[in-house]
């Protein structure tokens, strides 16, 4: 039975069909945070995005795609997200044991452009045949290729919604029009979250915002309207506000964490700011399983407290 909080969250998605709500509920109800309205998701697309050795050499069991299903399951995560091959390689063995998010576009760094365009590597039909609860899609607002991405997302999201899947959008500003600092600037991050929500995402994933303000026209408004941006919790709160005033699930990936303690402080700030959770990849699978379970357990306990 859905908790009142889950019911409340589902009520925000009044234009979706019961199939999509069912899959959103699956994501919200699975794992140790089930029913709380908070989510911790394990994503493992780093093999594709950065290369296998950079991703798994530090903890070689991670080369095996089944490892990550198991890690997400044992840690009590809400869901596990990965590209086609990794999902195909474990979906039968773990059928029905943990909600899956099929990451349908991917980018590799054997060529790393300033204005990247990920490749479509799978699709809604794959998500359905593999028993996934959602598709995942990355957009790079700021890239000169963004129009193509938005339109690919539109097509995939339309099909996903018709077929009762949820849509998770990674919104990562990048491109020749943005400075490096601008990629995590608060104004840019909030804008990126808003774009993802306008494009119809059910769940939006962004990076933790810094207190940098990138665009001059935006900076003037933040200063004039005295938008609080000093603390991380305030910035999270602002991003949540930018995402339909909190009526869309928005979760965060880690910043350049220097220590576990920093991560836990960030998670605490996300929680305080009203963020819905975390998506934690490398920090999880790039340590031995026992440590990973402890680490994820601690994060989950912060959200669940």
Name residues contacting a second copy, limited to 40-59 (CB under 8 A). Answer: 47-48, 50-54, 57-58
Q: Which of 205, 237, 289, 298 is catalytic?
A: 205
Name residues contacting a second copy, limited to 136-165 (CB under 8 A). Answer: 141-144, 146-147, 150-151, 154, 158
| 181 touches a second copy (CB under 8 A) | no
**CB neighbour list of residue 152: distance below 8 Å, 6 or more residues apart:** 105, 120, 137
Structure tokens at 183: 């990629």
Least Cβ distance, residue 224 to a second copy (angstroms): 8
Least Cβ distance, residue 302 to a second copy (angstroms): 26
| 276 touches a second copy (CB under 8 A) | no
Name residues contacting a second copy, limited to 221-250 (CB under 8 A). Answer: 221-222, 224-225, 227, 238, 241-242, 244-245, 247-248
Running DSSP on this structure, what letter comes out for residue 230? S
What φ, ψ does residue 218 adopt, rounded to 5°?
-75, -45
Distance, in Å, from the CA atom of 271 to the CA atom of 207, rounded to the nearest integer, reads 15
Which residue, 303, 297, 284, is CA-closest to 68? 284
Least Cβ distance, residue 243 to a second copy (angstroms): 8
Distance, in Å, from the CA atom of 160 to the CA atom of 302, rounded to the nearest integer, reads 32
Least Cβ distance, residue 298 to a second copy (angstroms): 25
| 119 touches a second copy (CB under 8 A) | yes
| 132 touches a second copy (CB under 8 A) | no
Which residue, 127, 118, 53, 42, is CA-closest to 88? 127
State the catalytic residues.
205
């Amino acid at each position: 039975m859905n908790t009142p909080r889950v019911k409340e969250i589902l009520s925000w998605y009044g234009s979706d069909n019961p199939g999509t709500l069912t899959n959103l509920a699956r994501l919200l109800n699975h794992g140790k945070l089930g029913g709380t309205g908070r989510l911790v998701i394990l994503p493992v697309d780093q093999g594709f995005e950065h290369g296998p050795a950079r991703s798994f050499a530090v903890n070689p069991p991670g080369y095996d795609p089944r490892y990550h299903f198991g890690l997400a399951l044992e840690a009590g995560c809400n869901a596990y997200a990965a590209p086609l091959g990794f999902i195909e390689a474990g979906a039968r063995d773990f059928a029905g044991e943990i909600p899956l998010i099929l990451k349908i576009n991917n980018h590799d760094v054997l060529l790393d452009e300033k204005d990247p365009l990920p490749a479509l590597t799978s699709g809604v039909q794959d998500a359905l045949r593999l028993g996934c609860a959602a598709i995942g899609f990355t957009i790079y607002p700021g890239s000169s290729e963004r129009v193509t991405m938005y339109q690919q997302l539109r097509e995939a999201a339309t099909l996903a919604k018709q077929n009762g899947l949820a849509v998770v959008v990674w919104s990562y500003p990048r491109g020749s029009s943005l400075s490096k600092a601008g990629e995590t600037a608060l104004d840019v991050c909030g804008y990126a979250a808003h774009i993802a929500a306008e494009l119809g995402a059910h769940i939006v994933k962004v990076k933790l915002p810094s207190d940098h303000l990138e665009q001059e026209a935006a900076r003037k408004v933040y200063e004039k309207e005295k938008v609080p941006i000093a603390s991380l919790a305030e910035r999270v709160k602002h991003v949540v506000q930018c995402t339909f005033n909190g009526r869309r699930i928005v979760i965060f990936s880690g910043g350049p964490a220097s220590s576990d303690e920093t991560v836990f402080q960030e998670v605490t700030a996300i929680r305080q700011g009203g963020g819905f959770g975390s998506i934690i990849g490398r920090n999880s699978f790039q340590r031995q399983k026992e440590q990973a379970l402890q680490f994820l357990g601690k994060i989950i306990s912060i959200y669940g407290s």
